[in-house]
């Protein structure tokens, strides 16, 4: 048996492996890098989280207080006429043919204001009107927080276009017991106006009457 052939093959393989390792060691870069290391992008980076934005400071104005003086007011004509108590001395401004705002003279727009709108032509139930209002706020306003929802009321906060935090109360009234909303009332204010705003909208809503003079 001739064993020299396999032995020669093994020897040649050993020599090749050794010279390959030596060549790799000779070409390996052993220098130490310098400079500031750069971050490596993540394979699946997360969306950045925006830091909370502070609200614009509120105007320095005494808070709206509960129990302010009221006077009798009338809006609309004919079967659309409504009677209700309104803040005495506040100025009324017609926004549309069926919408009005009240504001105390000399106060900025981002303090407190009351709005009344006749919505009886919309043929909408109060529950649906509340749903639509919430959906619209979430779509159009920022930082909306619903604090309380009742059968005919809503309390919430949001960020105004000027960046102020607004604390608002809304009521919907069915004046003729038709099962549909006739009037929408809202009082906007600052957090410090919340007690007065809640008192004001309650007094206006509780004292509102329709054209027949019947109770709400």
DSSP string of 5-38?
HHHHHHHHHHHHHHHHHHHHHHH---PPP-SPPP
- For the chain, the maximum distance between any two Cα atoms, rounded to a whole number of angstroms, is 128
User: Is 215 part of a structural domain of the chain?
Assistant: no
Give the C-alpha separation, 86 to 103, whole Å: 11
Domain range enclosing 144: 72-206
User: Is 8 part of a structural domain of the chain?
Assistant: no
User: Is 28 part of a structural domain of the chain?
Assistant: no
Q: What's 153's domain CATH number?
A: 3.40.1000
Radius of gyration for the alpha carbons in the chain, expressed in angstroms and rounded: 37
Q: 89 CB contacts (<8 Å, ≥6 apart)?
A: 69, 104, 105
- Which residue bears the tokens 């925006």? 50
Structure tokens at 50: 């925006």
DSSP 176: T
pLDDT of residue 79: 81
At 90-132, the pLDDT tens digits run 999 999 999 999 999 999 989 999 999 999 888 899 999 999 9
User: Is 40 part of a structural domain of the chain?
Assistant: no
Mean pLDDT of 38-65: 75
User: Is 168 part of a structural domain of the chain?
Assistant: yes
- Which residue bears the tokens 């105004």? 160
Q: 42 CB contacts (<8 Å, ≥6 apart)?
A: none
- Structurally, how many domains does the chain consist of? 1
Element (H, E) at 140: helix 126-140
User: Is 161 part of a structural domain of the chain?
Assistant: yes
User: Is 174 part of a structural domain of the chain?
Assistant: yes
At 175-195, the pLDDT tens digits run 989 999 999 999 999 999 999
* Pairwise pLDDT comparison (2 vs 167), residue with the higher score: 167
User: Is 90 part of a structural domain of the chain?
Assistant: yes
At 72-98, the pLDDT tens digits run 999 988 888 999 999 999 999 999 999
- The pTM (predicted TM-score) of the whole model is 0.75
């Amino acid at each position: 048996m001739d064993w020299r052939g396999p032995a020669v093959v093994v020897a040649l393989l050993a020599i090749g492996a050794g010279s390959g390792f030596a060549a790799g060691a000779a070409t390996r870069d052993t220098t130490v890098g310098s400079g500031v290391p750069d971050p490596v992008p993540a394979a699946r980076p997360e969306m950045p989280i925006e830091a909370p934005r502070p609200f614009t400071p509120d105007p320095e104005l005494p808070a709206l207080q509960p129990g302010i003086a009221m006077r009798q007011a009338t809006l609309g004509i004919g079967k659309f006429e409504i009677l209700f108590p309104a803040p005495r001395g506040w100025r009324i401004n017609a926004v549309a043919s069926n919408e009005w705002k009240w504001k105390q003279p000399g106060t900025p727009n981002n303090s407190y204001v009351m709005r009344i709108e006749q919505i009886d032509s919309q043929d909408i139930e109060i529950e649906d009107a509340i749903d639509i209002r919430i959906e619209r706020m979430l779509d159009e306003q920022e930082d909306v927080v619903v604090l309380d929802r009742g059968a005919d009321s809503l309390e919430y906060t949001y960020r105004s276009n000027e960046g102020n935090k607004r604390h608002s109360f809304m009521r919907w009234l069915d004046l003729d017991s038709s099962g549909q909303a006739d009037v929408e009332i809202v009082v906007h204010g600052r957090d410090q106006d919340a007690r007065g705003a809640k008192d004001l909208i309650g007094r206006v809503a509780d004292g509102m009457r329709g054209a027949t003079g019947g109770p709400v």
